Amino acid sequence: MTDKRHPLHKSSVLSQLETKPFFKIGEVAQLLGVKPHVLRFWESEFPSLRPKKNPSGQRIYAKADIEAIVEIQNLLYNERYTISGARQLLSRQQLPTPRDTDEVHAVPPTQALADLKAHVHELLALLEEHMPTT
């Protein structure tokens, strides 16, 4: 019987993530030592894992996606959680999803609207400066 535990070195994986902003599924699989079908299965089992797809339909993993995968892999392979147990633990921890990390700062809607209006007025002023007078 072989030991399925994978010694993950988060720091080494995360340092490799600094090389480029997005990775294809094959690159992520090779980086983490799992097969691509495992990553696709985990996507179906863990709601927080939702990589974006490029126009041709290929999965594109951002740093936040890969960090979530490293955590899932650690829970399953090293901590020996079941899929269900890992899912429950992650949902209780409420880890940020990749969609959450796209938002830089949470701004109240009234402030966001005021900022948007100000930007529109700035743009209109710039357009008026550059429009030829008739």
Q: What is the pLDDT of residue 111?
A: 77
- C-alpha distances (whole Å) from 107 to each of 54, 69, 114 are 28, 29, 11
Per-residue model confidence (pLDDT) at position 73: 95
| pLDDT one digit per residue (tens) for the chain, 134 residues | 444 445 455 566 667 777 788 999 999 999 999 999 999 999 999 988 999 999 999 999 999 999 999 999 999 999 999 999 999 998 888 645 545 444 445 567 787 778 778 878 877 877 777 777 66
Which residue, among 123, 114, 31, 116, has the nearest Cα to 70 in the 3D structure? 31
pLDDT at 94: 60
Written out in words, the top-level CATH class of the domain with range 10-103 is mainly alpha
What is the rounded distance in angstroms from the CA atom of residue 71 to the CA atom of residue 90?
9
Q: What is the pLDDT of residue 9?
A: 54
